[in-house]
Structure 1
Amino acid sequence: MTVTIASLCEREVVGIPARASVREAAALMCEEHVGSLVVVNGDEPPGVVGILTDRDLALDVLGRDQPATQLRAGDLAKAPAVAVQASASLGEAVAAMEKAGVRRLLVVQEDGAVVGLVAADDLLAAISQELAGLARALHGGIQREKGERKVLARPAGVRPVFPAFGTAAMQ
């Protein structure tokens, strides 16, 4: 089964109006326990302006000593949001992140409707599950071989014993 990015979208996307203050954005991140917000415009239905992350707040506001009272979520949102189709593979999502230099991707349907948001740690978890499955397959193959194949009788004689690595070249 091929894993699609849409299958990794388990959390609800949290949005914030572009006109909201960065203080409101930080408070919403705290309240919802998320590290990013989808910043939307005032249109009906709302359109995505960009993505605002906790890192954006730390680096662009606190790190540069910006007056938080004057900044709006839309001022800091990384726009346009980097998006991938819901049917994208893990490899396609990783390639999109690498190309854009981002840690989060907006996941959209063909019509542009937002399905979810995927972070790099979501991709790492999915990839590690696939690698664990491969490791189990390899281990299972060895166990199957042990059960199906009979061991041949070892020929009588001296079994070669090799010295510790690194010493053979010196003799």
Structure 2
Amino acid sequence: MSLSRFERGAIVAELTDDVVSVARRMRDFHVGCVVVVREERVIGIVTDRDLVLRVMAEGLDPSRTCMEDVVTYHPATLAREDSIETALVMMRERCVRRLPIVDAAGKVTGIVTADDLISLLSQELADLGAGIRENVDATESR
């Protein structure tokens, strides 16, 4: 299966963006992370958990704290051509829940999350189960 279904606009931030504006962007777009970019290329990632642990818990002023102070640099990324299976393996091996998708130039084209994959795979299993259930009375054994 292709990653193309996840190539919708990832929410991005610059290193100079303040935490408050990024948190509001996360709220407004209903996302749990932003991809930090420089010249449209992925350089890091910040999650809602990062904001809590690195800003709130440390007592920093979110309006004066910039992304450069809380970003996780060099996140694992996926190439546009990678498969969902590659995403699953990478998430498991690197213990991450979010993977930005990048083109050949390193520019972000989307993001795939563990929640996305759980939803997709559970639907695939439900469809398989429905197919089996509908054929239980079939006279042919498969």
TM-score, length-scaled by structure 1: 0.72
Q: Alignment RMSD, CA only?
A: 2.1
Instruction: Tell me if structure 2 keeps the 8 A contact 1:21–1:70.
Output: yes
Higher strand fraction (1 or 2) = 2
How far, CA to CA, are the matches of 2:36 and 2:65 in structure 1? 14
Pairwise CA distance, 1:66 = 3.2
How far, CA to CA, are the matches of 1:17 and 1:40 in structure 2? 6
Deviations 1:13-67 (A, max 9, x none): 22111011112211222233322111122xxx43222111111101221123334
Which amino acid in the other structure matches residue 79 of structure 1?
Answer: Y
1:9 alignment partner in structure 2: 7
Q: Figure out how many residues of one structure are paired with residues of the other and give that number.
A: 141
Instruction: Kindly indicate whether residue 45 of structure 2 is the aligned counterpart of residue 51 of structure 1.
Output: yes
Instruction: Tell me if structure 2 keeps the 8 A contact 1:6–1:107.
Output: no
Pairwise CA distance, 1:70 = 4.3
How far, CA to CA, are the matches of 1:6 and 1:80 in structure 2? 22
What is the SS of the residue equivalent to 1:4? coil
Pairwise CA distance, 1:128 = 0.5
Pairwise CA distance, 1:75 = 2.1
Identity %: 30
Instruction: Kindly indicate whether residue 23 of structure 2 is the aligned counterpart of residue 26 of structure 1.
Output: yes
The structure with higher relative contact order (CA 8 Å, sep 6+) is: 2
